[in-house]
Amino acid sequence: MIVVSYGADIVKSTYEALSASDISLYLRSGMSVSIKPNLVVPCPAYDGATTHPEVVEGLILYLKDYGVSKIKIIESSWVGDSTKRAFTYCGYDDLSGKYGIALIDLKRDSFSTHRYGNYDIAICNEAMNTDFLINVPVLKAHCQTKLTCCMKNLKGCIPDSEKRRFHTLAIHKPVAALNMLIKTGYNVVDGVCGDLSFEEGGNPVVSNRILVSRDSLLLDSYCAELIGYRPDEIGYIAYGRQYGVGEYYSDATELVELNSHAKPVFNAKSCRVSERYSGMIDEDAACSACYSSLIYALHRLEKKPPRSGKISIGQGFSGKRGAGIGVGNCTSGFTKNVAGCPPKATDIMRELG
């Protein structure tokens, strides 16, 4: 099961996604819960690299309303940066003070070695000793692994020395093995404005969506297609499936979408990366989620616009006919149309390719 909630009110969208999900089946009021965001660098979330504190706030409110009070936020920024600085710059010190939530810097945590298959992996004890780990990654592209989302976010639960070693092991297999060792209770994906190509941000693409699921690999495989990759193109997802982390998203997967009628309209000022492709696109009141799929597809293809003219997208084309290519259900009257509300970037790529 995957629940996707759209909206510009991030706290509300997160809360509503969780309320519509099956997370309540796994929660107990007296349990200890650790929340693992992605604070890879000390940069604000609107740059596309880090988890919005509003997502974690919506999660905290849901947990407290459910009766869960033993809550921690755990994280370790990437090698060479300070988690403490990230907590401050990313707004988590304020969040901690507002709700009385402890911030745990895993760089200072002890660790133990755990074995899966041929891999002996050092994992921070805070990540292993909680009753329920909630993984709160950012949906974004990555310059080495193509995608970073649920599964790769757990790399922040290992010491810096192990992070370095993962890269000497070509990263994909050890990340998959790590996901067999750390048992994630639930995943809440920040799909608000993930970066187009780099883990450290700078090229955000506004989508305004929150995605939640129990199954890390299922959600990662779905998110991979949203930004233009087949699941098998992401090494750690493919290995994770082999190891038994989870299954790929398919037409049989239960997908619940909330607030589809209220998807925020794309705002060019909030998505500076779109300027690269503006000459290829005829946009009229496009929703952010639909437009972001097109941007990811064009970035992946690195192609010129079709000879038939610009690519049309947006609610302004609803009920109209056109001879060119239209993206999204609103352009169903066009000669060529990529259906979906929103469509996946992979589907757009197949049509444009």
SS3 assignment, position 336: strand
At 309 the pLDDT is 76
> Does 271 have pLDDT greater than 80?
no
Q: Which two tokens stand for residue 240?
A: 């994770």
CA distance 73 to 94: 13
At 276 the pLDDT is 78
At 161 the pLDDT is 95
At 270 the pLDDT is 61
pLDDT band per the 50, 70, 90 thresholds, residue 38: very high
At 260 the pLDDT is 84
pLDDT band per the 50, 70, 90 thresholds, residue 160: very high
Q: How far is CA 186 from CA 13, 151, 214, 330, in A?
A: 17, 12, 5, 34
Q: Cis omega before residue 204 (within 30°)? A: no
pTM of structure = 0.93
pLDDT band per the 50, 70, 90 thresholds, residue 263: confident
The pLDDT > 70 percentage for the chain reads 96
The candidate with the shortest Cα–Cα distance to 248, out of 264, 224, 272, 228, is: 224
**Beta strands across the sheet bearing 255-258:** 102-105, 70-75, 32-37, 132-136, 184-191, 209-213, 2-6, 255-258
- Tell me what the mean pLDDT of segment 237-247 comes to: 97
At 277 the pLDDT is 83
At 268 the pLDDT is 61
- Tell me what the mean pLDDT of segment 9-19 comes to: 98
pLDDT band per the 50, 70, 90 thresholds, residue 31: very high
Stretch among 44-48, 274-278, 342-346 having the lowest mean pLDDT = 274-278
At 202 the pLDDT is 87
- Tell me what the mean pLDDT of segment 4-25 comes to: 97
- Tell me what the mean pLDDT of segment 23-31 comes to: 96
- Tell me what the mean pLDDT of segment 161-180 comes to: 95
Contact 306, 325 (CB under 8 A): yes
Q: Which two tokens stand for residue 256?
A: 């619940």
pLDDT band per the 50, 70, 90 thresholds, residue 265: confident
pLDDT band per the 50, 70, 90 thresholds, residue 197: confident
Please give the mean pLDDT across all residues of the chain: 93
Q: Cα(first)–Cα(last) distance of the chain, in Å? A: 31
Stretch among 173-182, 216-225, 273-282, 292-301 having the lowest mean pLDDT = 273-282
What are the chain's domains?
A: 2-260 (3.40.50.11440), 268-352 (no CATH)
Contact 177, 119 (CB under 8 A): yes
Q: How far is CA 207 from CA 140, 163, 286, 305, in A?
A: 11, 30, 11, 22
> Does 317 have pLDDT greater than 70?
yes
- Tell me what the mean pLDDT of segment 94-118 comes to: 97
CA distance 162 to 155: 9
CA distance 323 to 154: 46
